[in-house]
Amino acid sequence: MSKNEMIRTYTVTGMTCDHCALSVSEEVGALAGVERVEVELASGRLVVDGDVSDAAVRDAVAEAGYEVVS
């Protein structure tokens, strides 16, 4: 997997505050293979850099109490 393929962007629904964004960031960041996580609260954007599956990211977001919609 090339470096560019390791950076993926998702849209997360349900986040309404900084604590929400922090929860998502912590859950996703704890996944093996994740090198960097960036959460933008206003747009719901989640950027994940690392060797981790989409399913694992979706599961981590769900564990935090939110949903990946794209």
Q: Which domains does the chain have, with CATH numbers?
A: 4-68 (3.30.70.100)
Other C-beta atoms closer than 10 Å to the C-beta of 1 total 7
Mind listing the pLDDT tens digit for each residue in 10-60? 999 999 999 999 999 999 999 999 999 999 999 999 999 999 999 999 999
pTM of the model: 0.90
Report the C-alpha gap between 70 and 5 in whole angstroms: 16
Other C-beta atoms closer than 10 Å to the C-beta of 18 total 10
